Amino acid sequence: MKLFGITAPSTGSGKTSITLGILSNLKNATSFKIGPDYIDPMLSSSVSGNRAHNIDRWIQGRRFRRSFLSSASGYDYGVVEGVMGFRDSGMDIDLSTYFYFKTLNIPYLLVIDVSRLAESAYYIASGFLGKNALGVIINNYYSEKHLRMVSKPFADHGVRIIGAVPHSETVSIPERHLGLYLGSEVSDLQGKAREIGKYINMDFLESVPDVKYHTDDTANRIGESSSIWIARDNAFSFYYGSTIGFLEKIGKVSYFSPVRGELPENPDFVYFGGGYPELYAGDLSGASSLRSAIRNLSESGIPIIGECGGLMYLESSLKVEGKSYPMAGVFPGSSEMTRRLTLGYTELSVVENNPLFNKGESVYGHEYHYSNITDDTQKTMKNVRGRGIEGMDGMVSRNTIGSYTHLDFERYGKRIRKLVKPR
């Protein structure tokens, strides 16, 4: 495999667009996103045609390296998109792109947004061009004269220019309150990626060393008969690749669309990830048969996990722009959309046993939402880091668990195995 990274001096430089452009030029490629992002991996997966993965030692713990190496196995190319600026972390442990590239020995391309720069672009870039730098990609130039001005200092100092992508409104990916639009919502995503890709000289791959990675077989298949159902559509789409891969190892994974009112058939476990339930509140509310089915499954003791948007669906109602919509009603409370963003890593201390964790344990994840939840149901975990539901998280009803915190199931595999058993 040839493995390389994409980074930039600052967020908003075009890392995702360049990653998509490069993926459009590769066959049998996979992609990785540093940090807890869900949307960028979905976009990359839509272009590559293969599952994307995250790299995050806060969420994955010490096994982040093993998970990464296992996920890279079997592909000819791996593209690792960085998070924020190259050195940015904002935490008391180093979670920067620089840390991961150095630790995993990943050579990288540096993306420079030159929309407001000329010769100064080189002097900004030079502080980020370490020994593993393969070269730079100039992004967002406005004219050939502008490009010549930007390029000259790089050429004078012997820095390789891998590509130069002109400014274009037609290939931009629209954004909303939780980030970029999903791949399924972007018109002609493949075409946009190919358009960007044609400006990148892929000859740089000759400088990328070949590395062999081996599959991690430590998680043996233990439950082919376990019926695992995952909600997946535009309302529920935030899932880690490692989580899905782990669930595939311990059971038979099937998908259903709550927006279309599809029902899971004889499930042993149901999983609602995060996403945009607020954009589809009318459809979710109108699917009354599914709402009743989920409530009945919970009451019968079938394990259900709802994270963030999934938790909002498991509440009794969801309020959007002043209108209240009935939801599944597993929990008696309500959720409401607000203008306040809650974003960051979480650390939870388990204060009461729940179906996954025991009192006294610590749990690590992240939260990302614009909603509030009002629910008197007992919470089993306290936020040491993060906001949760007024400083608490982990609501439980029988074997149903609801939390604002998103988890990587692979990290907590032993607990998930114990929960997910054939009836």
For residues 248 and 361, state if they share a domain: yes
For residues 245 and 387, state if they share a domain: yes
CATH, residue 322 = 3.40.50.880
Does residue 271 fall inside a structural domain? yes
Residues 226 and 269: beta-carbon distance below 8 Å: yes
Residues 86 and 9: beta-carbon distance below 8 Å: yes
Domain count, the chain: 2
Of 79, 305, 308, 356, which is the active-site residue? Answer: 308
For residues 351 and 291, state if they share a domain: yes
Closest to 301 in 3D by CA, of 135, 410, 423: 423
Does residue 218 fall inside a structural domain? no
For residues 101 and 142, state if they share a domain: yes
For residues 288 and 371, state if they share a domain: yes
Mean pLDDT of 387-416: 97
- Cα–Cα distance, 366 to 151 (Å, whole number): 40
Domain stops at, among 150, 174, 207: 207
For residues 239 and 119, state if they share a domain: no
For residues 354 and 232, state if they share a domain: yes
**Percentage of the chain modeled with pLDDT above 90:** 90
Q: Quick one: how far is CA 205 from the chain centroid?
A: 26
Confidence of residue 212 (pLDDT cuts 50, 70, 90): confident
Confidence of residue 224 (pLDDT cuts 50, 70, 90): low
Confidence of residue 275 (pLDDT cuts 50, 70, 90): very high
Q: What is the pLDDT of residues 148-163, one digit of tens each?
A: 999 999 999 999 999 9
Confidence of residue 175 (pLDDT cuts 50, 70, 90): low
| Site of tokens 């079997």 | 74
The better pLDDT of the pair 33, 39 is held by 33
pTM equals 0.93
- Half-sphere exposure at residue 160, Cβ-oriented, CA atoms within 13 angstroms: 16
Does residue 104 fall inside a structural domain? yes
Which pLDDT score is estimated for 407?
98
Supply 9's token pair: 């001096």
Please spell the DSSP secondary structure of 266-330, one letter per residue.
S-SEEEE-EE-GGGGHHHHHH-HHHHHHHHHHHHTT--EEEETHHHHHHSSEEEETTEEEE---S
Which pLDDT score is estimated for 246?
95
| Residue 43 designated active-site | no
Does residue 214 fall inside a structural domain? no
Does residue 213 fall inside a structural domain? no
For residues 142 and 203, state if they share a domain: yes
Res. 182: pLDDT tops 70: no
Which three-class secondary structure state does DSSP give residue 234? coil
For residues 325 and 374, state if they share a domain: yes
Domain stops at, among 175, 207, 239: 207
Which pLDDT score is estimated for 169?
83
Does residue 80 fall inside a structural domain? yes
- Half-sphere exposure at residue 397, Cβ-oriented, CA atoms within 13 angstroms: 24
Mean pLDDT of 250-267: 97
Segments of 211-266 assigned E as strands = 227-231, 236-238, 252-256
- Cα–Cα distance, 135 to 115 (Å, whole number): 19
- Cα–Cα distance, 417 to 423 (Å, whole number): 13
Confidence of residue 215 (pLDDT cuts 50, 70, 90): low
| Site of tokens 């459809």 | 283
CATH, residue 77 = 3.40.50.300
Does residue 212 fall inside a structural domain? no
For residues 334 and 409, state if they share a domain: yes
Res. 223: pLDDT tops 60: no
Sign of the four-CA dihedral 22, 28, 33, 38: positive
- Stated as kind and residue range, the H or E segment containing 196 is helix 189-197
Residues 6+ apart with CB under 8 A from 225: 251, 252, 422
Q: What is the pLDDT of residues 311-320, one digit of tens each?
A: 999 999 999 9
Q: What is the pLDDT of residues 50-72, one digit of tens each?
A: 999 999 999 999 999 999 998 99
Mapping DSSP onto H, E and C, the string for 318-360 reads: EEECCEEEECCCCCCCEEEEEEEEEEEEEEEEECCCCCCCCCC
For residues 274 and 406, state if they share a domain: yes
Confidence of residue 184 (pLDDT cuts 50, 70, 90): low
The residue segments making up the domain with residue 71 are 2-207
Confidence of residue 171 (pLDDT cuts 50, 70, 90): confident
Which pLDDT score is estimated for 81?
98
Domain stops at, among 145, 176, 207: 207
Q: What is the pLDDT of residues 96-126, one digit of tens each?
A: 999 999 999 999 999 999 999 999 999 999 9
- Cα–Cα distance, 51 to 22 (Å, whole number): 16
Res. 419: pLDDT tops 70: yes
For residues 143 and 239, state if they share a domain: no
Mean pLDDT of 84-96: 95
Mean pLDDT of 170-194: 72
Res. 180: pLDDT tops 70: no
Which three-class secondary structure state does DSSP give residue 166? strand
Does residue 122 fall inside a structural domain? yes
